[in-house]
Amino acid sequence: FNHSCVPNCEHSWDDAKFQERVYTSRSVKAGEELCVYYIDVVAPRAERAQALQEMHQISCRCPACTSASDEKLSDARRSQMQ
């Protein structure tokens, strides 16, 4: 699974079976890439970018990170998710 700040999958750990489970969190079209989050997705865009670079040496290209929309407004909406 690749990372996205707007993932279409959620993951959880099943202690009883000692395995990770992954579920889609919205409808997924045939051929669409399945993505989970690697970092705290409610953090501001700049913090997410820094964390991904430091921990995974990647740059996120998801819609939340590449959108031309107002970054401060996006960060404010994400902060309300906490």
Q: What is the pLDDT confidence band of residue 50, given thresholds at 50, 70 and 90?
A: very high
Q: What percent of the chain has pLDDT over 70?
A: 82
Q: Which helix (H) or strand (E) holds 73?
A: helix 71-79
State yes or no: pLDDT of 53 exceeds 80.
Answer: yes
Of 81 and 53, the one with more pLDDT: 53
Q: Are 7 and 39 in contact (CB under 8 A)?
A: no
Q: Which residue has the tokens 């009883």?
A: 16
Residue 50, SS3? Answer: helix
Strand partners, 8: none
Q: What is the pLDDT confidence band of residue 31, given thresholds at 50, 70 and 90?
A: very high
Strand partners, 22: 11
Enter the pTM of the model. 0.75
